[in-house]
Amino acid sequence: MSTRMSLGQRYLMEALQVPKIHRDRLRKRVREGKCITIHEDGSECQNPVVSRGLCTLCKQHYYLARRKQEGEAAKIEFEKEKVNQGLILPQGTQADWTTKNPFLRDAS
Ligand SMILES: [Zn+2]
């Protein structure tokens, strides 16, 4: 990790970790090339994963909801909440979820 990173950025990076309880399911979905969304009826989204663990449509819905949060702090809070709930992957980590390297596995 870069030493130039501000404490705030570091905090955010550390905070934006998918909790262990969600990791196996998300890793399996991303490896299968599927979107990680679970619909309210319990069915899983069958669309291909594009980025952040989501398909194009689910990602659009996510960003729409994020945009509706007022102010940058609320947007960051919203993002953290969704990552913690295992609904979206932290930015720039999708490739780590398909790796077979045990250290990178723990990093995602
Ligand atoms: Zn989807």
The residue that leads in pLDDT, 41 or 97, is 41
Residues with CB under 5 A from ligand 1 (ion): 35, 37, 45, 47, 55, 58
Which pLDDT value is given to residue 77? 92
User: Which pTM does this prediction carry?
Assistant: 0.79
CA of 46 to the centre of ligand 1 (A): 7
CA of 2 to the centre of ligand 1 (A): 33
Beta carbons within 8 Å of 12's beta carbon, 6+ residues apart: 76, 80
pLDDT digits 0-9 by tens, 16-32: 889 999 999 999 999 99
The Cα–Cα gap between 62 and 54 comes to: 9
CA of 55 to the centre of ligand 1 (A): 4
pLDDT digits 0-9 by tens, 56-102: 999 999 999 999 999 999 999 999 999 999 999 998 888 888 877 77
